[in-house]
């Protein structure tokens, strides 16, 4: 079910996949939106009730003037308050993974367990792919053709507008967000106190194996690493294995 709430004069949207299970908040990555988690929500039901946010500038949520780190974390806090579910497990992919561990590090009493999918503690994002995205195509098929192998990973964000097709996110906003996410976030990562699962794709070009292992070492005893045969979007490339790893971790931690 799609729902909305207001924060700072902007409307944010989210999908509550429903059920009576334990809530799990989910935060998507750049180029995506809450609907990207639909297959995972189905796989984790009925034990886990996924509630996924369309983060600022994505999906059905309003665009924003700023995409800084504090802005995203404040949105997650407002989302959590709106739901009124108490301390909860949080899962985030890429952009959402950084937002998730920063929220967990800064609001330790609100996060019971954390799953970070293919996001590092130090980021140096190359936004050149974003600037090459088509801003408008005459048909959905033309958009798919222009994107090539990337199309399945962006498909949830396809939108028809006027006489053509584009995305639910703004390209310039995405570049601003990617620039703002770059930097050293070790302080936030090591501030997380709850049980943490870091999931990395073995073919990922975003999270190097050595960096992932250093992240675990710096939180010895509180974080574990699972590597799955996938690229950056692990929950899509290795869907069944990803869902199994998340379910096992949450069953043990929550």
Question: Structural domain boundaries of the chain?
Answer: 2-123+171-253
Q: What is the pLDDT of residue 132?
A: 97
Q: How many CB atoms lie within 10 A of CB 229?
A: 11
**What architecture is the 2-123+171-253 domain classified under in CATH?**
3-Layer(aba) Sandwich (3.40)
- Contact call for residues 7 and 55 (beta carbons, < 8 A): no
Q: What is the pLDDT of residue 3?
A: 98
Q: 87 vs 96, 189, 194, CA distance in Å? A: 18, 19, 11
Q: What does pTM read for this prediction? A: 0.98
Alpha helices in 59-111 (DSSP H): 69-83, 95-106
Torsion sign, CA atoms 38, 41, 43, 45: negative
Q: In DSSP terms, which residues pair with 91 in a beta bridge?
A: 26, 115
Q: Per-residue pLDDT tens, the chain, 254 aa: give them.
A: 999 999 999 999 999 999 999 999 999 999 999 999 999 999 999 999 999 999 999 999 999 999 999 999 999 999 999 999 999 999 999 999 999 999 999 999 999 999 999 999 999 999 999 999 999 999 999 999 999 999 999 999 999 988 899 999 999 999 999 999 999 999 999 999 999 999 999 999 999 999 999 999 999 899 999 999 999 999 999 999 999 999 999 999 98
């Amino acid at each position: 079910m799609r729902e909305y709430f207001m924060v700072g004069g902007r409307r944010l949207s989210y999908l509550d996949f429903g059920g009576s299970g334990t809530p799990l908040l989910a935060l998507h990555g750049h180029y995506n939106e809450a609907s990207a988690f639909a297959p995972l929500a189905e796989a984790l039901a009925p034990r886990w009730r996924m509630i996924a946010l369309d983060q600022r500038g994505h999906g059905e949520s309003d665009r924003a003037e700023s995409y800084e780190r504090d802005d995203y974390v404040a949105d997650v806090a407002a989302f959590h308050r709106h739901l009124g579910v108490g301390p909860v497990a949080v899962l985030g992919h890429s952009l959402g993974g950084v937002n998730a561990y920063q929220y967990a590090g800064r609001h330790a009493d609100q996060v019971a367990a954390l799953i970070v999918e293919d996001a590092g503690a130090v980021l140096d994002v190359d936004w050149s792919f974003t600037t090459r995205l088509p801003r408008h195509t005459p048909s959905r098929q033309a958009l798919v053709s222009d994107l090539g192998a990337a199309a399945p990973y962006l498909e949830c964000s396809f939108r028809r507008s006027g006489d053509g097709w584009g995305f639910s996110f703004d390209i310039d906003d995405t570049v601003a967000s990617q620039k703002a996410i770059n930097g050293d976030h070790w302080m936030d990562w090591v501030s997380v106190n709850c049980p943490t699962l870091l999931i990395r794709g073995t073919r990922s070009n975003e999270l190097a194996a050595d960096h992932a292992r250093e992240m675990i070492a710096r939180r010895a005893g509180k974080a574990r690493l699972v590597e799955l045969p996938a690229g950056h979007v692990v929950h899509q490339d290795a869907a069944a294995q990803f869902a199994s790893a998340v379910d096992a971790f949450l069953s043990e931690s929550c």
